[in-house]
Amino acid sequence: MSSPPGNSVQSGAGPSNANGTTTKSGLIPTNTVTTKDGLTVRVRIDPTLAVDDVIRQLCINLRIKDPPGVFALRDDTDELVTNDNLRSKIKAKVNLKLVNAPAIEAAEIVEKLSVKDARLGLTLTSLRKYIKEEQFATDFLNRDGLRELIGVISYSHGNTLAYALTAMQNLMELDHGWSSLSESFILKIVQILASEQSLINVCRPATAILKKLVEADPASAPGSSVMPSSSKAPPTPAPGSVYKYGFEIVFEQMRKEKRMLETVVGRLGSADTTMALYSMMLINSLMAHATDARWEEFMSSIERLNVNKAVIRLMSSHTIEDLTSCILDYQANVVRATYRRKMTMVEPDAVPAHAEALTFVWSESKVNEVDGRGGIRKWRQLGFDTEDITQEFHEVGVLGLQCLFAFVQKDPDYFSKVIQEQLSRPEERRCPIAKASNEVVDLLSEHWAIFGSYSASTTFQPFFLSFERVHGLATQFFFRMWNESGASRGDFSRVVALVRSQVKEALRKENVRAWHEVEKEFLESEYRAVRDRQMKELEMEDDVMGRVPIRNLRAKLYKDSLEFVRQQRIHCLLQGAWFMNAIPVVTNISRDTMRKPTRPWRFMRLDNGMKYLHYVDSQAQFTVRSGLEDLPERLDISLINEVTIGTCAPLPNILRDQGDLTYNVSQLQASSLSFALLTAGGGLLAAQIAPDKSRWADWTDGLNMLRRDGGHVASQETEMFVQALTDIGLKVRLLNLSGDRADIPSGIVQGQPPTNNDFFFSDLLYDTQG
């Protein structure tokens, strides 16, 4: 680097390095450096030098008296120049600035925060930008800057509060430094969100902060294998770890502000799409991390506030590119909640809520416990097979009880009328109403693949979010088919088959159908038309597929297939792949987190510990060796909060050919093979475009499956793959039975239990020759 007197640097016979010697590398680009005093010089920087050496030589050549340690280099966007990015900035001929070192900036900002004068807004603007840098953040925290920032948040309002909250949000992207946040601070954030008068630019960062606190539980700490909702005791956080908060701590503060959750749900209807997005992300996080102790209380609040209805409106009232991923995440959370309720036993003797629901159903039936023959036949008069209510709900659990309760509650008079009508008939001709309700629950669970804690749906399912309403319609349809077909007790499975066929027909293409069409299908379809369609379906599919044991087997194979596909997708990530670098073109990605890429290609590979995505950016694709030696950069998997699809555009050619970093994002066209990895605050971790549909499906679904909250399937390829594996596995399992023409029962009849304990199992000896 040479610098003759004046405001410019003249090139000599050849480029020189910082020590004044001629380099052998030939053409070194010329960069412009501006000092704090406004002096501008043109310099040639040897890209092999460290940043500290570059700054030292600049100070010598420009005759700056201050020690080099108080200076740093930044580019025009104020990004700090480090040893990792110096080479790329030299090559791109980026304009550089000689500015205060991060330690100096941190000291000045902490001092200005404590003064709280009229320049506080400008100070916070600088803070929210610099706090993302590790060097600055370390010095800021060491100078007790966090306490000063919390103090500003505690008394500020308006734009000043928005800037302070954004700075806190950016600080919390780090995995250290904020382990000392108090309950009073969390309550302050809750109060900000509970206020309907809060500005949108205040609510956004406050929502992101609360979401981060929910996810910072000990079970989510890197290396932890315990899921947040596990019944196992969570690990004890290490001293100084930020993973010490979690759902319990946040929810305890939320309970002090009764309207907080209601206000957040209300913001789902905000005209500001980003505000709706942040609110959706917070609700998703709360649902995914709710603990066993508070799960029922929280989910009751979600149902009371009718969040499903708000999300259904989002599905239909927006062009939703920005919200698609979040809505599918919510849908997956509801699948998990539905499955959990289906697997939770009904225990009226142990759970008061179960007893209350059953008491309501019984009282609205207007039936006497003593039948005409003088026997106690309470639940059998409503259509159950026995008086053991726990066993009757064994297959559908609490989900079945909730659906029956909702059905009765919607129209108690109709329920009572139907019950009385059936009891007036001969016992053989009565429709088992309660049993039919449970069967409909099972059919709907099968239709929406509620077989486990993972959702494989890639499209919106608004009717699934109206599960109880669909259950009510399908149960009425069951009664009607029973009556119109003149069914008797032995025809129960035949009517079930009719209902299954109608469920499939009425709920087809639910992401584009209107609700009134579904109502019409269930309420107006005639028995003869339904029967004719079902007979045509039976010509193509053996009736054996509808038997209960086969449905249970299919559910098990579905879960096995999903786990197999998950392992296959993650294996693809472990192998690694090349992608094009891209830039996002949607509004929900925070613009100040974008780093404009300077190289067109990126190779990414997941490490064996599945904690980091290692990568390298390159001008051209090359053969990457196994292992991580060729991949110097990495992304923390735990920071990935969302995987958006179809949101990024290829880099303009001018960027690759000439190094010009100026372009209009709004004029770029998003690629259908693109995906972006976002943090909880909407920060961009990576933006890539896959070379083909298969690679796109492998990586988008694989990254979603790595997320601790489960995520959702993004590609139809994965959804179809799971279905195909399930169907093949089922047919293979049935080959032995169908080949031998063995009869598959519709259900297993359970015998009566022993009357006492006076029995034992004898050892039976079999004659091996017999």
Residue 454 and residue 317 share a domain: no
Distances (CA, A) of 551 to 75, 443, 473, 562, 729: 62, 9, 22, 16, 13
Q: Is residue 322 part of a domain?
A: yes
Domain boundary among 334, 368, 397: 334
What kind and span of H or E run contains 302?
helix 292-304
Query: How many angstroms from the chain centroid is the CA of residue 250?
Result: 19
Residue 216 domain-assigned (yes or no)? yes
The answer on 482 and 388 residing in a single domain is yes
Residues 315, 208 share a domain: yes
d(CA 470, CA 332): 18
CATH of the domain at 589: 2.30.29.30
Residue 303 lies in a domain: yes
Q: Among 305, 334, 363, give the residue marking a domain's end.
A: 334
Q: Which residues of the chain have pLDDT under 70?
A: 1-27, 222-235, 317-322, 369-376, 453-454, 456, 539-548, 551, 586-597, 653-668, 680-682, 708-715, 735-753, 759-770
Evaluate whether 9 touches 44 at the Cβ level (below 8 Å). Answer: yes
Sequence-distant (6+) residues with CB within 8 A of 675 are 643, 644, 645, 646, 647, 648, 687, 688, 690, 696, 699, 700, 703, 714
392 lies in some domain: yes
Give dist(CA 384, CA 392) in Å, integer: 7
In a domain, residue 508? The reply is yes
Give helix then strand counts, H and E, for the chain.
28, 12
Q: Are residues 362 and 489 in the same domain?
A: yes
Q: What is the 3-state secondary structure (H, E, C) of 2-40?
A: CCCCCCCCCCCCCCECCCCCECCCCCCCEEEEECCCCCE
d(CA 395, CA 446): 12
**Distances in whole angstroms, Cα of residue 490 to Cα of each of 373, 469, 482, 496:** 23, 28, 11, 12
DSSP secondary structure letters along 528-565: HHHHHHHHHHHHHS-GGGGSHHHHHHHHHHHHHHHHHH
Task: Report d(CA 295, CA 298) in Å as an integer.
Answer: 5
What digits encode the pLDDT tens for the residues 611-640?
889 998 888 888 888 888 888 888 888 778
Residue 490: CA count within 13 A, CB half-sphere: 0
| Residue 476, CA atoms < 13 Å, CB-side half-sphere | 19
Domain boundary among 718, 743, 762: 718
Clarify whether residues 627 and 666 are in a common domain.
yes
In this structure, the strands spanning 648-650 and 577-584 are antiparallel
Rounded distance between C-alpha atoms, residue 684 and residue 699, angstroms? 17
Same domain, 454 and 400: yes
Residue 215: which CATH number? 1.25.10.10
- CA 493 vs. chain centroid, Å, equals 38
Does a structural domain hold residue 323?
A: yes
Length of the chain: 770
Give yes or no: residues 314 and 426 share one domain.
no
Judgement on whether residues 492 and 628 belong to the same structural domain of the protein: no
What single-letter amino acid sits at 457? Answer: S
Give the CA radius of gyration of the chain. Answer: 32
Give the other-Cβ count within 10 Å of 275's Cβ: 18
Residues 520, 431, single domain; the answer is: yes
Residues 383 and 442 in one domain: yes
- DSSP sequence for 304-336: HTTHHHHHHHHHHHS--TTTHHHHHHHHHHHHH
User: Do 529 and 658 share a structural domain?
Assistant: no
* Residue 450: how many other CB atoms lie within 10 Å: 27
Q: What is the 3-state secondary structure (H, E, C) of 650-695?
A: ECCHHHHHHCCCCCCHHHCCCCCCEEEEECCCCCEEEEEECCCHHH
**Tokens in use for 446?**
């099968």
Q: Are strands 30-34 and 96-100 parallel, antiparallel or unpaired?
A: parallel
The angle at the Cα of 632, spanning 103 to 100, to the nearest 5 degrees, equals: 15
- Residue span of the structural domain in which 591 resides: 559-718
Which pLDDT does position 274 carry in this prediction?
A: 83
Number of domains in the chain: 3
pLDDT tens profile 582-618:
888 765 555 445 556 678 899 999 988 888 899 988 8
- Supply the pLDDT for residue 13: 30
pLDDT at 739: 45
Same domain, 424 and 318: no
On the 0-12 / 13-18 / 19+ scale of CB atoms within 10 A, 519 is middle
* N-to-C CA span, the chain: 98
Note every long-range contact of 151-156, with CB atoms under 8 Å and residues 24 or more positions apart, other chains counting: 151/113, 152/113, 152/116, 152/120, 152/124, 153/185, 153/188, 154/185, 154/188
The continuous run of DSSP H or E covering 129 comes out as: helix 120-130
Task: Check the CA dihedral 70-76-77-80 and report its sign.
Answer: negative
CA distance 604 to 614: 6
Residue 615, beta-bridge partner list: 604, 633
Quick check: is 694 in a domain?
A: yes
The CA distance from 508 to 19, in Å, is: 73
Closest CA to 267 of 203, 208, 214: 203
The 10s digit of each residue's pLDDT in 200-223 is 899 999 999 999 999 888 887 766
Handedness of CA 161, 162, 165, 171 (dihedral sign): negative
Q: How many CA atoms lie within 13 Å of 287's alpha carbon, on the beta-carbon side?
A: 29
Residue 537 domain flag: yes
DSSP 451-487: SSS-----S--TTGGGHHHHHHHHHHHHHHHHHHTT-
The pLDDT, as a whole number, for residue 588 is 54
pLDDT of residue 14: 34
Strand 612-618 relative to strand 633-636, pairing? antiparallel
Residues of 459-468 as b/e, b for ≥16 C-beta within 10 angstroms? Answer: ebbbbbbbbb
Q: Which of 133, 135, 134, 126 is nearest to 149 (CA)?
A: 126
3-state secondary structure 48-117: CCCHHHHHHHHHHHCCCCCCHHHEEEEECCCCECCCCCHHHHHHCCCCEEEEECHHHHHHHHHHHHHHCC
